[in-house]
């Protein structure tokens, strides 16, 4: 019973949140390699008050990250940006559609073997 | 150039020879020259562990020349006891340049000694010495003992600079993937070249010299090197990522792409990858002093790792590299970077290839899970996914062929065959596959399948274009255009291996740069198209050796069933298999091959008529 009650409370909260603020989207951003030291974090959840957004808008929520990844609205050469494991160069680059629950992973140019 | 030392271990006779310039122009050095010598001097059907096989140690024309980026490597060529194919294995460190300074470009070791011996080469002179007192020692103890003993003859200061390549107990015990270890922690790892040395009772080669490598055209050379170095400094891969994070930078990249082979290639996503990533390694076990010791001669990139571990597992040493982290990590389901490093140190000290050792332990874990291994064989050890005790213990057991280690020592294919489940052997031509699941990188799959030395990521490193975007990003899930890319990479890489320069330079420079440096050093007039032609010649010669050895052809150009038929179960590559059949025919067409074998016309075009007549009826009509 307690669990159902808790769920109801949560659902009501979300409903009121929706009434006041509209739809909210949560996206996880992971950064790797030297970006971690430069930015001082490994991952962040970004919230956007919209049901749809493009990659450029989502990354721009964190300006210091956007400056590193984008040159204007173009992804810098050699950067690997994945949305759910798919390189955005095969999606729609900076205009790739991002949805609630998506995971974005960003790597500066790297190699090995 | 072209000075060869020939050492007959049966008769104990040593001779020096010069190779004609024409041979060098066609085969360059390193891998190419080794393949040529093997074809000319060894029956491809030879038992790899018999005295009739030869062990060839080679440098290249650019080895040991100050200024040439990453030219501190050396290469071993032989017929592999793991694969039965022609095989070249490469190593960094400082041994290669020192051999050149001692006055030789290559050493051909033939026959076999009755008693353990080592070879000592000092400023153009060579002698065979007893190694009875060294037999049984690990690679570190062997290296130290040789330096101490020679110090009495040449003085301590001089002896400090001796470079030693040797085998450990694994090579002596003929483990089919025993490595040759030089400079303590650098390995010519793949293919069991250490076992070939072991079968010849060759414990070590020690070298020291003072000669300078001559350069034909100094001003052209300076210009070529300046251009190459500029590109290496400008590339973020060679100037930033590799120096700072080493090859382990790939752990997160490959896992995030869903192609980090986990638990013997059952899936491509490892939930504990972050714990063994390059980023984590730098934060925890990296030791700056040890890194400096490990960096290869003349290398502006300096990707080497030196680490120290404390706690449950203790020790220090070279590594772990990306491939090692994967083999002992995700392949066995193990998270701990400390346990992985411990297994890595043991491989260096006992003389084992880390890729095959970790890989085969993963194969054993799957066989145990399937109930194929009688419990008494395991002597109470819990051989289960993720058990770090198991990976460390099975490593030393493999080197000594102790208990179940005796089966591991035979490689994944023979192990899986013995226990009735050959389908779990993730091998190509008998060599264990490395750290990329090709279901999410189609071209890389074609590269594995067609590799002349068996499962290998470095014949055609399609991960560069398919994942890393070097030189340009291509769609990893598509097959279109991949055969051409694979062929191009295979041919150019064959030449990089023959120049004996590190492949990591290829993240920044390519055919034209290699051609310019080679021309300046040798005085030849080499253009980029020559590089590709020479590479193609080497590739075809290797295939010819394999055809003569075991009838190589289409039936061997394949992948384990799991990768061809079982879709990736989860992650970004979910649902994909390798669509090999979509690529193979086009690959053959581009190569001028029919069913995995070159035509007579193709061999003629490459100046290999002598091989065509030897192959005779084995060639397609």
Query: Which tens digit of pLDDT belongs to each residue from A16-74?
Result: 555 555 678 999 999 999 999 999 999 999 999 888 899 999 999 999 999 999 999 89
Chain A positions touching B284 (Cβ under 8 A) are none
CA–CA distance, B429 with B449 (Å, rounded to integer): 8
Neighbour count for residue B575 (Cβ, 10 Å): 11
Chain B positions touching A85 (Cβ under 8 A) are 256-258, 571-573
pLDDT in tens, B307-334: 999 999 999 999 999 999 999 999 999 9
Q: Within an 8 Å CB–CB cutoff, is residue A111 touching chain B?
A: yes
pLDDT value at A113 more than 80: no
pLDDT value at A9 more than 70: no
Please state the ipTM of this predicted complex.
0.92
Chain A positions touching B475 (Cβ under 8 A) are 90
CA–CA distance, B325 with B338 (Å, rounded to integer): 10
pLDDT, mean over chain B = 97
Q: How confident is the model at residue A2 (pLDDT cuts 50, 70, 90)?
A: very low
Cβ within 8 Å, pair A111-B464: yes
Q: Are strands B106-110 and B3-8 parallel, antiparallel or unpaired?
A: parallel
CA–CA distance, A108 with B281 (Å, rounded to integer): 18
Q: Within an 8 Å CB–CB cutoff, is residue A20 touching chain B?
A: no
Cβ contacts below 8 Å, chain A against chain B, sum to 93
CA–CA distance, B475 with B469 (Å, rounded to integer): 10
Cβ within 8 Å, pair A84-B458: no
Cβ within 8 Å, pair B237-A78: yes
Locate B135 and state its tokens.
Answer: 């037999």
CA–CA distance, B413 with B410 (Å, rounded to integer): 8
Cβ within 8 Å, pair B256-A111: no
pLDDT in tens, B373-427: 999 999 999 999 999 999 999 999 999 999 999 999 999 999 999 999 999 999 9
Q: Within an 8 Å CB–CB cutoff, is residue A90 touching chain B?
A: yes
**Chain B interface residues facing chain A, Cβ-Cβ under 8 Å?**
235-238, 240-242, 244-250, 252-253, 256-258, 278-279, 303, 322, 457-458, 461, 463-464, 467-470, 473, 475-476, 503-504, 507, 571-573
Chain A positions touching B303 (Cβ under 8 A) are 112
Chain A positions touching B457 (Cβ under 8 A) are 113
Chain A positions touching B322 (Cβ under 8 A) are 112-113
Class of domain B438-618: mainly alpha
Do B3-208 and B438-618 show the same overall fold? no
B186-188, strands of its sheet edge to edge: B125-130, B117-122, B202-208, B163-166, B180-182, B186-188
pLDDT in tens, B539-596: 999 999 999 999 999 999 999 999 999 999 999 999 999 999 999 999 999 999 999 9
Closest-CA residue of A relative to B258 is: A85
Helix ranges (DSSP H) in B107-168: 139-154, 156-160
Contact B533, B606 (CB under 8 A): yes
Cβ within 8 Å, pair B322-A112: yes
Q: Within an 8 Å CB–CB cutoff, is residue A76 touching chain B?
A: no
Our CA-based measurement puts residue B256 at a distance from the nearest CA of chain A, in whole angstroms, of 6
3-state SS string for B222-252: HHHHHHHHHHHHHCHHHHHHHHHHCHHHHHH
Closest-CA residue of A relative to B255 is: A85
Q: Judging by beta carbons within 10 Å of its beta carbon (0-12, 13-18, 19+), is residue A13 exposed, middle or buried?
A: exposed
**Percentage of residues in chain B having pLDDT higher than 70:** 100
Our CA-based measurement puts residue B93 at a distance from the nearest CA of chain A, in whole angstroms, of 17
Contact B180, B57 (CB under 8 A): no
Cβ within 8 Å, pair A112-B248: yes
Our CA-based measurement puts residue B69 at a distance from the nearest CA of chain A, in whole angstroms, of 16
Cβ within 8 Å, pair B469-A32: no
Q: Which of residues 21-50 of A touch B (CB under 8 A)?
A: 30, 32-34, 36
> Nearest Cβ partner of B572 from A32, A86, A113?
A86
Chain A positions touching B476 (Cβ under 8 A) are 87
pLDDT value at A8 more than 60: no
pLDDT value at A5 more than 90: no
Q: How confident is the model at residue A112 (pLDDT cuts 50, 70, 90)?
A: confident
- Tell me the backbone φ, ψ of residue B165, rounded to 5 degrees: -110, 130
CA–CA distance, B108 with B308 (Å, rounded to integer): 37
Q: How confident is the model at residue A11 (pLDDT cuts 50, 70, 90)?
A: low
Distances (CA, A) of B71 to B30, B196, B250, B434, B543: 12, 25, 23, 24, 27
pLDDT in tens, A93-109: 999 999 999 999 999 99
CA–CA distance, B601 with B552 (Å, rounded to integer): 19
Closest-CA residue of B relative to A83 is: B572
Closest-CA residue of A relative to B574 is: A85
Locate B317 and state its tokens.
Answer: 């040493």
Q: Where are the domains of chain B?
A: 3-208, 259-424, 438-618
> Nearest Cβ partner of B247 from A80, A87, A112?
A112
CA–CA distance, B363 with B375 (Å, rounded to integer): 16
Q: Please compute, for residue B174, the number of CA atoms within 13 A of its CA located in the half-sphere on the CB side.
A: 7
Q: Within an 8 Å CB–CB cutoff, is residue A91 touching chain B?
A: no
Return the pLDDT at B232.
96
> Nearest Cβ partner of B236 from A36, A78, A90?
A78
Least trusted range by pLDDT, from A8-22, B183-197, B516-530: A8-22
Chain A positions touching B458 (Cβ under 8 A) are 113
> What does the pLDDT average to over B339-364?
98
pLDDT in tens, B189-248: 999 999 999 999 999 999 999 999 999 999 999 999 999 999 999 999 999 889 998 999
In the CATH scheme, what is the code of domain B259-424?
1.10.569.10
Cβ within 8 Å, pair A85-B257: yes
Residue B468 DSSP symbol: I
Cβ within 8 Å, pair B464-A90: no
Return the pLDDT at A1.
42
Cβ within 8 Å, pair B463-A113: yes
Return the pLDDT at B413.
98
Cβ within 8 Å, pair A33-B475: no
Angle formed by the axes of helices B337-350 and B388-399, nearest 10°? 0
Neighbour count for residue A21 (Cβ, 10 Å): 10
pLDDT in tens, B546-556: 999 999 999 99
Residue-range domains of chain A with CATH: 23-107 (3.10.20.30)
Return the pLDDT at A6.
47
pLDDT in tens, B271-283: 999 999 999 999 9
* Substitution target from B73, B241, B475 for chain A, most A beta carbons within 10 A: B241
Chain B positions touching A69 (Cβ under 8 A) are none
Return the pLDDT at A15.
55
More confident residue, B428 or A12: B428
Return the pLDDT at A51.
81
Q: Within an 8 Å CB–CB cutoff, is residue A80 touching chain B?
A: yes
In the CATH scheme, what is the code of domain B3-208?
3.60.9.10
CA–CA distance, B592 with B536 (Å, rounded to integer): 11
Return the pLDDT at B317.
96
């Amino acid at each position: 019973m307690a669990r159902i009650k808790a769920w109801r409370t949560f659902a009501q909260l979300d409903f009121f949140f929706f009434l006041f603020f509209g739809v909210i989207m949560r996206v996880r951003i992971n950064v790797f390699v030297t970006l971690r030291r430069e930015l001082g974090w490994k991952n962040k959840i970004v919230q956007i008050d919209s049901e749809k957004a493009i990659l450029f808008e989502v990354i721009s929520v964190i300006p210091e990250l956007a400056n590193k990844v984008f040159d204007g609205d173009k992804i810098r050469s050699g950067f690997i940006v994945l949305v759910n494991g798919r390189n955005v160069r095969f999606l729609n680059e900076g205009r790739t559609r991002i949805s609630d629950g998506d995971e974005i992973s960003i790597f500066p140019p790297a190699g090995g073997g | 150039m072209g000075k060869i030392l020939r050492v007959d271990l049966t008769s104990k006779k040593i001779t020096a020879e010069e190779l004609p310039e024409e041979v060098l122009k066609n085969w360059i050095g390193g891998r190419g020259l080794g393949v040529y010598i093997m074809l000319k001097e060894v029956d491809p059907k030879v038992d790899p562990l018999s005295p009739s096989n030869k062990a060839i140690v080679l440098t290249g024309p650019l080895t040991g020349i100050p200024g040439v980026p990453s030219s501190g490597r050396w290469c071993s060529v032989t017929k592999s006891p793991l694969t039965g194919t022609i095989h070249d294995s490469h190593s960094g460190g400082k041994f290669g340049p020192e051999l050149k300074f001692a006055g030789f470009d290559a050493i051909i070791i033939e026959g076999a000694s009755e008693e353990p011996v080592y070879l000592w080469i000092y400023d153009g002179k060579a002698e065979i010495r007893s190694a009875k007192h060294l037999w049984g020692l690990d690679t570190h103890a062997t290296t130290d003992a040789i330096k101490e003993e020679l110090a009495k003859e040449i003085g301590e200061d001089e002896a400090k600079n001796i470079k030693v390549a040797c085998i450990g107990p694994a090579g002596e015990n003929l483990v089919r993937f025993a490595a040759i270890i030089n400079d303590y922690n650098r390995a010519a790892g793949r293919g069991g070249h250490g076992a070939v040395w072991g079968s010849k009772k060759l414990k070590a080669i020690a070298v020291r010299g003072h000669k300078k490598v001559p350069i034909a055209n100094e001003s052209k050379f300076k210009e070529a090197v300046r251009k190459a170095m500029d590109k290496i400094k400008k590339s973020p891969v060679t100037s930033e990522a590799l120096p700072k994070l080493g090859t382990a930078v790939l752990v997160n990249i490959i896992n995030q792409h869903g192609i980090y082979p986990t638990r013997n290639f059952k899936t491509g996503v490892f939930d504990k990858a972050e714990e063994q990533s390059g980023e984590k390694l730098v934060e925890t076990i990296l030791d700056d002093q040890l890194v400096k010791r490990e960096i290869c001669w003349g290398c502006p990139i300096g990707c080497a790792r030196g680490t120290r571990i404390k706690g449950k597992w203790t020790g220090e040493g070279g590594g772990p590299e990306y491939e090692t982290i994967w083999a002992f990590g995700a392949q066995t389901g193990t998270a701990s970077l400390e346990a992985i490093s411990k297994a890595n140190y043991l491989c260096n000290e006992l003389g084992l290839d880390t890729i095959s050792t970790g890989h085969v332990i993963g194969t054993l874990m799957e066989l145990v899970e399937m109930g194929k291994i009688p419990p008494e064989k395991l002597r109470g050890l819990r051989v289960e996914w993720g058990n770090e005790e198991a990976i460390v213990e099975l490593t030393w057991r493999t080197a000594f062929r102790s208990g179940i280690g005796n089966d591991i020592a035979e490689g994944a294919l023979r192990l899986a065959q013995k226990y009735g489940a050959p389908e779990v052997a993730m091998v190509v031509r008998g060599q264990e596959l490395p750290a990329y699941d090709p279901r999410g990188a189609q071209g890389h799959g074609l590269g594995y399948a067609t590799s002349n030395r068996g499962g290998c990521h470095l014949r055609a490193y399609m991960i560069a274009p398919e994942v890393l975007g070097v030189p340009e990003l291509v769609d990893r899930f598509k097959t279109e255009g991949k055969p051409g890319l694979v062929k191009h990479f295979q041919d150019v890489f064959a030449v990089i291996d023959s120049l004996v320069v590190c492949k990591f330079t290829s993240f920044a420079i390519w055919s034209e740069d290699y051609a310019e440096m080679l021309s300046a050093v040798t005085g030849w007039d080499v253009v980029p198209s020559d590089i590709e032609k020479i590479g193609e010649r080497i590739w075809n010669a290797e295939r010819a050796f394999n055809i003569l050895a075991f009838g190589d052809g289409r039936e061997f150009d394949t992948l384990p069933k799991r990768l061809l038929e079982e879709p990736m179960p989860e992650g970004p590559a979910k649902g994909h298999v390798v669509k090999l059949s979509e690529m193979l025919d086009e690959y053959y067409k581009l190569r001028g091959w029919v069913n995995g074998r070159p035509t007579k016309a193709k061999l003629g075009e490459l100046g290999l008529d002598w091989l065509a007549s030897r192959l005779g009826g084995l060639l397609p009509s």
